Structure 1
Amino acid sequence: MFIRPLLTALVLLATPLGTNAQQLPLAVDGPSAAADAAEFDTSYRHSPSISARMQREFLSRIRWSVGPEVRDSLVEAFKERSPNEIWQELVAPDGLTTNNVADALTSYWVLNWVAANGAYAVEVDSRPIQRQLRQAFANDPNFLTLSDQQRQEMAEGYILNFLVEHAALNNALAQQDIEALYTLAMASVSRFHDQMKVNLLDLVPGPNGFQGRPQDD
């Protein structure tokens, strides 16, 4: 579960951004991941220059989508700590680390599932989801051809979007803004339906990762 305190500057955000997520071959109703696929390495060698470029592009999008004041607040926040450092602090208790695509996507999936389902008090075990995503990446021919740079761009895209959406959700919860929470929920549902062809409302986390919600008799 990722609903933890975040920097005040980030909490100013109220509009989640779109994500550059690719559609993954995620078999949510399939069997447990095979041992070799579940341990598939989705890490990459980190490049500071790529992080700097992605941060600049992110802040530019923020300026035009949310406004210059929020953008300036984020600039000051990122001077103190990088987006990766902020993200790492939030997800470290869940066993997730930087420089790993599966870990970045795991946090992003869990956050969006929580938002979509209003499951703010649910403690989600990230480890089965992490293994499930490693299996998906291991079976994705496109992912297998990615360079370290491309892996980093994918992972840090998820991380930056995670921070924006996490901040918006935190802000809505702190203000008990039911309308904002509903808007965020519908945005998560729409985002995953359009970009990953998955209905977050039909999934539940379990020992094998996200699986189809049991049907009522």
Structure 2
Amino acid sequence: MSGKQVFLAGAVAAVLLCASQTQAQDYAFQGFATADAMNQMHAAMRDNMMESSSQARAPARGGVAAGVAASGRRAAASARTTYQSSPAITQRVKRQFADFVRSTGGDGAGIAAAMDQQDFFARWGQHVSQYGLRRGDVADAMTAYWMLNWQIANDVRSVSRAQVQSVQSQVRAMMGDNRSFTDLNDAQKQEMAEVLILNFIAQSVAYEDAMRDNDATMQRRLQNAATTRFQNEMKVDLRQLRLTGNGFVAAS
């Protein structure tokens, strides 16, 4: 990651800036199974971070790194986080996102037209590939989403590829142990990933714009919005998380 940028995708779609005015809330998942799996995975991620923090203070035999690696091996054996994309699912997610923007006072028609003219999901994939993430993988979409919100909440301007991949390992292990996720079909995995990607783009563009304009007031609003979003939806205080070589842990 550049030392001058947060984990952002401003180059992906500046046209989505009008959607950023809804930064205090996310475009939500439509399917019950998808939403339920997401809620359970966020809870699992929170529990994993608390456990990692405890291990960091009193390491068990083999240490935290060994535990995370073992968890990652179990996850790889028990869960597939990639999915086969369907154009119909993408069209539905884009339509619902445009409707969401319209319902919150944004330019829904403009967003819809922009998304039809450009493949934002592909451009997002190109952007995050430098950090070892890729399009077509739910774990990578969630990793990018968590990283972005943590960086915004804490005003951290750069992280390393290795740090991103440590969070990726955390997310994969959590998904592999979560029955609600493993029961999802390809369409539901795709919906989950693409909703996370669109939220990522809207939030990152807003924060990048605030930084470019040196708008300290807007930066604080976006930092508080990211913090509030995770506290309300996931019961996680992003400002109380530390990023370590083994991913996120609760600050002691």
2:138/2:192 contact within 8 Å kept: yes
Q: Which runs of 4+ in 1 moved over 4 A?
A: none
Indicate the RMSD between aligned Cα atoms, in angstroms.
Answer: 1.9
The yes-or-no answer on 1:85 pairing with 2:102 is no
Q: Where does 1:153-164 land on structure 2 (aligned, <5 Å)?
A: 153-164=191-202
CA shift at 1:204, angstroms? 1.6
TM-superposition CA deviations, 1:126-176 (whole Å, max 9, x none): 111011001111111211211111111111110111111011111111111
Asked if 1:140 is matched to 2:178, the reply is yes
The TM-score, its normalising length taken from structure 1, stands at 0.89
Q: Which residue pairs with 2:142 in the alignment?
A: 105
AA in 1 matched with 2:73: D
Give me the identity figure in percent: 31
**How far 1:88 moved relative to its partner?**
1.1
Q: Does residue 1:3 correspond to 2:12, yes or no?
A: no
CA gap 1:19/1:12 in 2 versus in 1, 3 angstroms = closer
Stretch moving more, 7-16 or 156-165: 7-16
The whole-number CA distance in structure 1 between the counterparts of 2:103 and 2:174 is: 34
- Per the TM alignment, residue 120 of structure 1 is displaced from its structure 2 partner at its CA by 1.9
- The residue aligned with 2:80 is 41
Question: Which ranges in structure 1 are unaligned for 5 or more consecutive residues?
Answer: none
1:12 Cα shift? 4.2
Q: 1:79 to 1:19 in 2, by over 3 A?
A: closer
- How many corresponding residue pairs? 212
Matches of residues 19-30 of structure 1 in structure 2 within 5 Å?
A: 19-20=27-28, 21-24=38-41, 25-26=44-45, 27-28=48-49, 29-30=51-52
Is the Cα–Cα contact under 8 Å of residues 81 and 139 in structure 2 kept in the other structure? yes
Maintained 8 Å contact 2:210/2:216: yes
Contact 1:47 1:149 in 2 (8 A): yes
Alpha-carbon distance in 1 for matches of 2:206, 2:104:
14
Moved more, 111-120 or 21-30: 21-30
Could you say which residue in structure 1 is the equivalent of 2:227? 189
Match in the other structure for 1:18: 26
CA distance in 2, matches of 1:202, 1:209: 14
